[in-house]
């Protein structure tokens, strides 16, 4: 963490513990629901409820941001999450109907819907402009490490602590996150003055009329159709039916993707020598090609290699894009952009998952991958349309 400000370090460790808690808590929740209902379909409702909560909170977030100070929102929401997690443990002991469990999961994700966009906007105000790319790479690398390790750690702890004990462990992680959050100094000239008064979601949409905001939001929505074929349900079916491999190969392919994300985080400094427009254009062309080849491929080793390459390029594109957005938008516009972007991501995730699953089931899995590759080509056209901002 050498070379970063104290504020960024506190934000980093706060996010580290909070995100670890979030990932492990989902494992505990899915395991408990399956144990309670013995239904895979009902257990799968957890990510759907969580994504839906993100979408709903996007409509209310602008009002909250305009009325309360940023630190109060972050600390209050994380503290409330601790309380809801404790209530969740109580519902497990009394074995309430699963709908109450899903309701609590919705409320916890609803609170996350306020904190996630806010955390993204703070990086450019805690670090110098020349250091934003490194800071984003650091945060992204940390998130990837959590995604790789949290599921393994959570599954291991689940065997010893069971669902209720695992959620109590998440409460402890959330409390540590709050402690780091409270250490952040919001009084320095890094965050612009608070704007009091109500702000509607309609006003947020109007604020997203800048070219940078429009490019990010359209990119997010279109890319969701490219990402959708890489979700577990489609990938597991592809491994079994097209690669004729045992299901554990899905884990290997998935691990290769996350390793690729980590490698991409370490390679982020290399993109500084490229013109951004050329980098985005060639990057999305490569994603399109990788997705297409993956869909027609029948070799296991090549599938692992393609997944790894996909992770590297996806990470480089994601970090560089968010860095460009953070450099060119002021704090209020940036907050509005990330607020709307989270809603668009949630909507895109639900819609693209449904459409791609439909194509995979009623057409072929290969056809779904071909459609996904076309989505990345569409982003190339989008990049050309907004070439003047890069």
Residues 319 and 137 sit within 8 Å (Cβ to Cβ): yes
Which residues are CB-neighbours of 305 under 8 A, at least 6 positions away? 256
Q: Identify the sign of the CA torsion 115, 116, 117, 120.
A: positive
Domain 6-183 belongs to what architecture?
Up-down Bundle (1.20)
Which residues are CB-neighbours of 142 under 8 A, at least 6 positions away? 12, 15, 16, 19
Domain borders along the chain are 6-183, 201-389
Domain 201-389 belongs to what architecture?
Up-down Bundle (1.20)
Structure tokens at 34: 């399956």
State CA 359 to chain mean position distance: 24
Region class of 385: left (phi > 0), else alpha (psi between -120 and 50), else beta: alpha
What global pTM score does this model have? 0.71
**Going residue by residue through the chain (390 aa), what tens digit of pLDDT does each one get?**
677 888 889 999 999 999 899 888 887 887 888 788 876 557 667 777 888 888 888 778 777 877 877 778 888 888 999 999 999 999 888 878 889 989 999 999 998 888 877 777 788 778 777 777 778 778 877 876 786 677 667 767 877 888 889 999 999 999 999 999 888 887 654 444 444 444 566 777 777 788 888 999 999 999 999 988 887 567 777 888 899 888 678 778 878 888 888 888 888 777 766 777 788 889 999 999 999 999 999 999 999 999 999 999 998 998 888 888 888 887 677 778 887 887 888 788 878 877 887 888 788 889 999 999 999 999 999 999 988 877
| Strand, coil or helix: 364 | coil
Distance between CA atoms of residues 39 and 102, nearest Å: 14
Distance between CA atoms of residues 221 and 226, nearest Å: 10
């Amino acid at each position: 963490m050498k070379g970063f400000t104290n504020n960024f370090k506190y934000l980093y460790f706060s996010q580290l513990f909070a995100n670890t808690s979030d990932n492990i808590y989902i494992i505990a929740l899915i395991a408990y629901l399956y144990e309670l209902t013995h239904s895979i379909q009902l257990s799968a409702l957890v990510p759907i409820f969580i994504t839906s909560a993100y979408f709903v909170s996007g409509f209310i977030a602008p009002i909250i941001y305009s009325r309360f100070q940023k630190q109060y929102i972050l600390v209050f929401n994380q503290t409330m999450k601790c309380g809801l997690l404790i209530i969740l443990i109580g519902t497990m002991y009394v074995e309430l109907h699963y709908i109450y469990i899903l309701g609590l999961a919705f409320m916890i994700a609803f609170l996350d819907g306020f904190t996630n966009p806010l955390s993204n906007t703070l990086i450019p105000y805690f670090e110098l402009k020349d250091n934003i790319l490194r800071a984003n790479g650091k945060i992204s690398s940390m998130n990837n490490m959590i995604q790789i390790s949290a599921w393994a750690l959570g599954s291991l702890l689940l065997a010893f602590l069971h669902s209720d004990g695992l959620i109590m462990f998440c409460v402890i992680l959330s409390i540590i996150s709050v402690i780091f959050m409270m250490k952040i100094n919001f009084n320095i000239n890094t965050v612009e003055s608070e704007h009091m008064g109500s702000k509607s979601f309609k006003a947020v949409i109007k604020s997203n009329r800048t070219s940078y905001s429009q490019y990010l939001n359209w990119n997010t929505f279109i890319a969701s159709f490219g990402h959708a074929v890489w979700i577990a349900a489609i990938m597991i079916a592809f491994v079994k039916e097209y690669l004729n491999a045992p299901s554990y190969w899905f884990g290997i392919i998935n691990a290769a993707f996350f390793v690729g994300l980590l490698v991409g985080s370490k390679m982020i400094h290399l993109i500084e020598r490229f013109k951004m427009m050329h980098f985005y254009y060639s990057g999305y062309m490569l994603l399109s090609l990788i997705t297409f080849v993956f869909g027609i491929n029948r070799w296991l080793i090549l599938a692992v290699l393609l997944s790894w390459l996909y992770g590297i390029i996806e990470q480089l594109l994601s970090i560089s894009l968010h860095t460009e957005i953070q450099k060119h938008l002021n704090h209020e516009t940036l907050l509005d952009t990330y607020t709307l972007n989270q809603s668009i991501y949630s909507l895109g995730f639900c819609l693209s998952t449904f459409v791609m699953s439909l194509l995979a089931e009623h057409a072929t899995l290969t056809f779904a991958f071909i459609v996904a590759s076309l989505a990345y080509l569409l982003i190339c056209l989008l990049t050309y349309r907004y070439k003047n901002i890069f």
